[in-house]
Amino acid sequence: AQTVTQSQPEMSVQEAETVTLSCTYDTSESDYYLFWYKQPPSRQMILVIRQEAYKQQNATENRFSVNFQKAAKSFSLKISDSQLGDGAMYFCAIYGGSQGNLIFGKGTKLSVKP
Amino acid sequence: GAGVSQTPSNKVTEKGKYVELRCDPISGHTALYWYRQSLGQGPEFLIYFQGTGAADDSGLPNDRFFAVRPEGSVSTLKIQRTERGDSAVYLCASSLIWTGGTGELFFGEGSRLTVL
């Protein structure tokens, strides 16, 4: 079975600052994918960034980047130059080859203060 | 459509009643997923379809829950004899193909079910 753990129920950051959200996971799959999804109050989950486990290079999408430590099974999200619109729930998720669905963590609520 | 559409947005029902939740995926997406999100939790997998057939229904909690996708497009999640513990947001997602490879699911805004 695959599991995802997000140990920070809530985080806050000052506008324009940088914040890192933590995620650890467990899987027996050799080939898997990791994701960060954002869920604003509208409830719609939006993909922020994804990482293929076989790639050593950390994924980057504009202000969002990940620190993928495969041996440690760690997948943290860094948000640079935080904006008010970044305030939302953030979910870490894993997709593994033998399962046709995503497994999510419990989420981290991020507040951005002006 | 432009995105995944879910109806109703909110549903309040009484314990013991029957409920149907509808999902209209992005046109052309063959894979469709249902998740349940309880308050303060991450989405929990229920079932997913490849075309018309349920490829994996291992997440359905019991036989009161059932989902169909008769024409490979719109899907309906059906809950019989609702219980207060069924109260949650039910999220639907679709993807162009089975997620192997890209893994990106496109989500709707969910249906919030409240059982009194």
> Check: CATH 3.30.70.3270 for A3-113?
no
Minimum Cα–Cα distance from A42: chain B residue:
B109
**Neighbour tally for B116: CB within 10 Å:** 10
Instruction: Tell me, yes or no, if A107 comes closer than 8 A to chain B by beta carbon.
Output: yes
For residue A43, the chain B residues in CB contact (below 8 A) are 89, 91, 109-110, 112
CA distance B3 to chain A (A): 11
Mutate which of A3, A5, A23, A102 to test chain B, going by most B C-beta atoms within 10 A? A102
| Cβ proximity of A75 and A34 under 8 Å | yes
In a domain, B104, yes or no: no
CA distance A81 to A104: 26
In a domain, B71, yes or no: yes
Question: Please, what is the end-to-end C-alpha distance for chain B in angstroms?
Answer: 33
Instruction: Annotate A50-97 with DSSP letters as a single string.
Output: EEETT--SPPEETTEEEEEETTTTEEEEEE-S--GGG-EEEEEEEEET
CA distance A79 to A77: 7
Q: What is the CATH number of the domain that holds B82?
A: 2.60.40.10
> Which is more confident, A54 or A108?
A108
What digits encode the pLDDT tens for the residues B38-63? 998 999 999 989 889 988 898 999 99
What digits encode the pLDDT tens for the residues A30-89? 888 999 999 998 889 999 999 999 888 999 999 999 999 999 999 999 999 999 999 999
A98, pLDDT greater than 70: no
Please give the single-letter amino acid code of residue B65.
F
Q: Do B45 and A103 touch (CB under 8 A)?
A: yes
Q: Kind of pairing, strands B19-24 and B5-7? A: antiparallel
Q: What is the pLDDT of residue B103?
A: 63
In a domain, B107, yes or no: no
In a domain, B113, yes or no: no
CA distance A80 to chain B (A): 23
For residue A103, the chain B residues in CB contact (below 8 A) are 45
Q: What is the pLDDT of residue B105?
A: 86
Q: Which residue range forms the structural domain that includes residue B73? A: 5-98
Q: What is the pLDDT of residue B99?
A: 53
Q: Kind of pairing, strands A10-14 and A108-113? A: parallel
What digits encode the pLDDT tens for the residues B65-90? 999 999 989 999 999 999 999 999 99
> Which is more confident, A27 or B90?
B90
Per-residue pLDDT band at B101 (split at 50, 70, 90): very low
Q: A57 CB contacts (<8 Å, ≥6 apart)? A: none
In the stretch 21-40 of chain A, residues with CB closer than 8 A to chain B read 33, 35
In a domain, B110, yes or no: no
Q: B16 CB contacts (<8 Å, ≥6 apart)? A: B81, B82
- Of the candidates A63, A77, A71, the one whose C-alpha atom is nearest the C-alpha of residue A34 is A77
Residue labelled with tokens 């979910």: A91
Q: Do A91 and B107 touch (CB under 8 A)?
A: no
Domains contained in chain B, number: 1
